[in-house]
Chains A and B, each alone.
Chain A
Amino acid sequence: MSTSSTNVSSEHSNRVVLVGNPNVGKTTLFNCLTGLRMKTANFPGTTLDILSGKLSLPSGERDLLDLPGLYALDSANAEERVALDAILNNDSEKPALIILILDATNLVRNLFFAAQVLRLGIPTVIALNMVDLAKNSGVHINYESLESHLSAPVIPLVARKNTGIEQLIDRCETVLSENTAPALPKLLVSTENPDNNMLYTWAESVYESSVEHENATLGRKTEMADKFFTHPIGGLLAFMSVLFVVFYLIFSFAGIPMDFIDGTMGSFGEWVGSKLPEGLFQQLIVDGVIAGVGGVLIFLPQICILFFCLSLLEDTGYLARAACVMDKHLRRVGLPGKAFVPMLAAHACAIPGIMAARTIEDRQDRLTTIMVLPLLTCSARLPVYAMITALLFPASAAKGAALFTGAYLLGIIAAMGMAFLFRKTLLKGDMQPMMLELPNYKVPSFKTAFLTAYERGKIFVRKAGTVILAISIVLWALMTFPQAPVPSEEFIQDIPINGTQVVQQPQSELSYSFAAKMGKGLEPIIEPLGFDWRIGVGIVASFAAREVVVSALSVIFGVEGDGDDTSVLLDRLKEAKRPDGSPLFTFASSCSLLVFYVLAMQCLPTQAVTKRETGSWKWAIFQLGYMTVLAYTASLVTYQTLVALGMG
Chain B
Amino acid sequence: MSITVSNISKSYKSVKALENISFNVKEGELFGLIGPDGAGKTTLFRILTTLLIANEGTATVADFDVVLDYKKIRNNVGYMPGKFSLYQDLTVEENLNFFATIFGTTIEENYDLIKEIYVQIEPFKDRRAGKLSGGMKQKLALCCALIHKPKVLFLDEPTTGVDPVSRKEFWDMLKRLQQKGITILVSTPYMDEAALCDRIALIQDGKILQIDTPQAIVKHYPKKIYNVRADNTYQLIKSLKTYEYNHSVYPFGEFVHYTDRRADFNPKDLIQFLESNNLSNVEIEKTVATIEDTFMELAK
A and B assemble together: no
Listed in ascending order, the chain B residues whose CB lies under 8 Å from chain A are none
